[in-house]
Structures are given as C-alpha cells and as structure tokens.
Structure 1
Amino acid sequence: MTTAPPGPYSPGFQLDPFPTLARLRDEAPLNRVTHPELGACWLAIRYDLVKSLSADPRMVKPQNPLDGNSLNSSPPVHTRLRKLAQASFSPQRIEAIRAWTGQVTGQILDEMAERGTVDLLSVLADPMPITVISRLLGVPAEEMDELRSCATGFLTETEELRDQALGVAHAYVLRLVAHKRTHPGDDVTSALIAARDGQDRLDEDELVRMVIALLVNGSITTTNIIGTGTHLLLTHPDQHDRLLRGPELIRGTVEEVLRLQGPIGAITWQAAEDVEVEGLVIAAGEYLITSLQGANRDPSWFDRPDVFDITRNPNPHLSFSHGIHHCLGAPLARMEAQVALDALVRRFPGMRPAGEAVWRDSHVVRGLTHLPVSVGVPAA
C-alpha cells in the first residue's frame, strides 16, 4: 500500500515539496489548497503567473489593522519607505564589508579545522549571518546572543510563537534605536535614523519595524542558503569539483542554490479587488500563495529544472520575489553566501557528509536543521 504525498503546506510537505508542486503546476493555472493559517486559498505555481501576479498592483501583502507602516505596506506608503531604506541598506554598503565577512568566516573555519567533525548549521550557517547583520545594524558584540534568539524565534511554526518572538525583537530594537539616537555610528540603524527625503523621514514605529525586518530577513535567509548550498555541493561531487577548479563560478553557484532550494518557498498575497487569471477569479479579499519553489523548477523556463548546474546561464529565478516587494536584503544574502561557500570549498576540498542531513518540516522556510560534516584535511 502506497502512501499519498502530503498536500501543499500540510505537515511533511516541505520535506520534499517538488513532486507535488510539479503535479499541481500541470493541472491548472491556479489550484485551490488549504493552508494551516490562511485556510482555503489559491496557489500559483507556473513561472509566468508567479512573476506577473507578484508585480500585479491588485495583489497586496495581507495587513493586520493593528500593524503600522512597513515594507509590506502598499504604495504610496511602501514607495516612501523603500526609498528611505535603500540608501541606508545599499549594495555599496554591503560590498564594503565583504572582506570583513571573509575574516569572520575564516575564524569560524579555523574552529572547524580544529574540531574535524561538526554540525555545519550550528557552527557556521547560524552564527555567521547573525554576526554580519549585527555589524551592519551596529549591535554591540555582547548583545549578539540576544539578537540571535530574536531572529531564530521567527522560525517557529505557530503564529502565536512568532508573535512572541516579534515582541522580544521589538523590545530589543527599541533599545537599540534609542542608543543609536544618542550614540550614532557608521551603521545601518544610525543611517536609517538620519535618512531623509526632503522633509520626510521615518517615524519611530516605521524605524523599529524596518530594523526588525532587516534583522530577521538578514539572518534566517542566509543561514538556509549556506546550509542547503553546502548540502547540494556535498551531494553533487561533479559540481563541487567544478567550483573547486573555477572559483569564478561562485556567483553562479549561489544563484543555482537559490533557484533549486531557495529558503523562501512561497509568498502570501491578498486580492484588493477581483483578479481574473485564465478564466479563474481570485475574488477581492481572497488569499493567493505564489510558489517560488514551483516557479523556479518550471520546465517551460528552465532546462532540466531539477538538475543542480552551477553554470546555468541565464538563471532568472524568483527566489527574492519580483516587483516592488523584491527582497531588500538580496545583495546581503548573496554576498554572505558567496563568501561562505567559496571559503568552505577552498579551505576544505575534502569535506564530506558525516551523518544524515535533517530538513526542517516548515511551511515558513525551506532549509536544514542539521548538517553533520567532516572537514577532512584543510588545504595548504
């Protein structure tokens, strides 16, 4: 007797979502599914629909009436906030700490070399991103553990626990912002406090929400890219060897990791008005899930979509979404993943699995909870 695969976003689905998504993608332009938090909703899986609906102004991010202004708001609020944030969290600022990120990574790899066998998630993939985002936000070193607990709390599976984590993060960021108002530095929090567009600036609530968003997205996303990226390289020795021979392929490697195993599986929207999609109607007020995982493996857009190929070019994946809500932290995630994966391959060319990788059974993110590795003999 065979067991039917779990339905979308039911327990166990994210352990291997791709066969189910492939089947549903071929069945209809939109599918009706049941989500554990949203209830009955629509699901878009085809690449063309995911991309177009993500940029459709009639599809908005769901808003709690008690929520204030944030990057999830719709225009014109979103336009104003994004403009104020972009200069403070610019690709140039992030590239300026690439060398420092390499130093942090190198120190962690030194520890890995001494220990020999480690859980890559707990030793590298978890602490490195939180160290980098702490530096960018101007968090004191002695408060990094508190910041880490704030970020990891958002990985919990219930809305109640995530609300608790949000409360902890909100209290911490309030203290950080108050400190930076009187002790500004060369960091993103201080830059956001000072950001102006003519007479416009962020108010206190907007500022706190912005820093929380950067904290969460700047740590959780990269943690999962590093973990899944390492796992993909270890389980595809031909691609590992190709990267080892061609360090210039590191950018393409990270893009292919994002396409094949991106950390954000889907994005939730709500129809502000009726939206017709190939004869089907998403009624005003109904929820829509755009499956980034399904779109990124759509065979009508990607040749051999289930194959890990670090030389894939072009690679127009949607892992950071599309349109006005394209992820503000994408340059940071890319930079950190490039630094970490390149350093791992060069320092430990003989690294190999030392146990079974454990996937997170989550409808929030796609990633690993454990990745035991043996680093072997470090390169000279």
Structure 2
Amino acid sequence: MNSILVTGGCGFIGSNFVRVLLRDDAKLLKEKGFDRIVNVDSLTYAGNPANLSDLAGSDAYVFSETSILDQDTISSLIKEHGVNSIVHFAAESHVDRSIDTPEPFIETNVTGTLRMLEAARHHWAGLEGEAKDAFRFLHVSTDEVYGTLGPNDPAFCETTPYAPNSPYSASKASSDFLVRAYFHTYGMPVVTTNCSNNYGPYQFPEKLIPLVTLNALEAKPLPIYGDGKQIRDWLFVEDHCTGILAALEKGDLGETYCIGGRSEMENIQIVKRICGLLDELAPVGQNENAQKAGIEKYEDLITYVKDRPGHDRRYAINCERSEKECGWVPAETFDSGIRKTVQWYLDNQDWCRDIAEKKYARERLGNA
C-alpha cells in the first residue's frame, strides 16, 4: 500500500484537496502514484464531514476522526496504511477567533505540527532505500506570516522576512520554523507552501466571500471593517490544491514555495462584485428576504464598522518560483473563480443551512 495522509481533510482547503485527488475515479491520485488517501480530522467547528460524505465506501479513501495532537494514533495510521507522503493542512485559521482566544491556535498550529513532525520523523527514520528517498512531509502555511505590505511594496516571496501581526499568523510562523528546523536538524524531507487567501466551494461561512454571499441572500447587513480597502491576493481553492501537488512532487527539500492567485483586490471590491453577481443570479425581485428588507440591490446592505485590532492592510504573493520550478500556474481568473463560487453557494443551500444552524452563529463578517 502506498498512501498519502492528509490532516484537516474535512476543512475547506483539505476537503477540496481530497476531492481533486479522487475526482474521475481517483484518476489524479493514481497518476501521482498513490493507492489511497487517508484523511485525519478531529471535526472541530470548521471540520465538516458532510464535505466528503459522498466518498464513503470508496476503496481509495479512508477517514479517521483523530486529533493531530494524538501522536500515537497518527503513528499507527501511518504504519497501517503505508503512508509515504503527508500533506499537513490542519490548523486553526480564523484571525478574529485568534484575537478572542489565542490558546487553541498555539495548541493546534504549533504543538499539533510538532506532534505530526515527530510521528513522521520516527516513521521516516525506519524506512530504507527508495521508500525513504520518496517520503515527503508538506506543510501548508499562509502569506500572513509575512506581515503587511504598503501600497507600493513588492509582493511577498520566499525570502520575505517573517513579521506576523496576529496570534493566528504568529502561530503559523512558529509552525513554519518548526518544519524548517526538522529539515536542518534531522534531515527530514519537508517542503513548505505559503498561500494567499483561498476562496471556493465548502468554505466555512465565517470567511469573507461565503458570509457576504449568505448574508446578502438573507438580506442581512454586510458590515465591512474600517474603510474596506484592505487588499488581499485571491486564490481559487482548486488552484491552490494543484499548486500543493506540484510542490509535493517537484519542490526541493527544505524549501518554501509561495502559491498565489495573481488577483489583488480590496475587500470592498470583493463585496461589491459578489453583490453584482447575486443581482444577476438571484435577483432581489425573486428573493423574499430582500423584498421584505426593501432593498433595490444587494449592495444596499453594505455597512461600515470599526476595524479589528492589528488588521493587516495588504497581502500579495509573488508565485514566480512555484511557476518556474514546479511548473504550476493558476487555472482560474478571479472573474471565473468567483462566479463558480457564488453559484456553488446558491446551488448548495442545504449545506449552508446546516452549517448556520448547527455549527456557527453568523454575527460578524470575517474580512480576511
């Protein structure tokens, strides 16, 4: 058995990664030389088993409800399934939550990564020959570890100094340093990727794009932090997944690869773009909630609220290294990706309703 283990595979990016590999009767999984994908997720608030419920029963997919803090169980799963690659997504990732309660971010993002590295290291140390040479540990991180950019600053790249500004980004920076240390101290075959803001299907509704979409459909206010001119580089989630696979396959050991969408936009522009798409795809005249609210267009719901503490002004990713060394380029433009995303949320109201009722009370907008 030759398996790839994914942590946090029931979350937003992780579930899309699993789906990309298993699409078309697991065509890509087989092309990459794997027999099976093992998904490890502790199913906290952002881990939704419904994201992958249709995969139950597939011989190419195994799910284990396990915390990444449980090193013994992780080690057993690695051994049982013949894991020779690990893609580590599992993390607490919402900045607002890290401001309210930092401790879970340290526990999951730092200690959890340590436990994963230790389980992987002990397994790798016991391998021999081609199996040892082929083993990989890919750590998925974020552009937020680099801090903030001014309007005219060059985009973040692999050599940008770390300058995290929130408990979340500080915890991810710490995990990145741990992965680096395991390469230089133990020779562990690791690769790190730092991505820009992801969007797409199955994203948890506290994040900007799904929450704007869902609140607008319910004719709820769309509160925007500060002046709404915070800039982010937006990356369609499936493009991120193919970038990770490219780095896993072609990335140099111990190195970092930045994965971005080449789509810098202000938050307020994003919100207005979503409102415009909803005006087209779900017109106000056909929305009972909007009619009761007396709005003429979804943009009328936009309101401005006090900015959050430590809100970084601009992120941008220079992904030239990933393109040149790993042969990866994003397939989606922002226009094509955002249309697919909004349409997905319109087509999957049951999924959205389940999240809203059982998982999370949408009280404020997650301006990424």
**TM-score range, shorter-chain basis?**
under 0.3
Q: Which has the higher contact order (CA 8 A, sep 6+)?
A: 1
More strand by share: 2
Q: TM-score if structure 2 supplies the norm length?
A: 0.27
TM-score by length of 1: 0.27
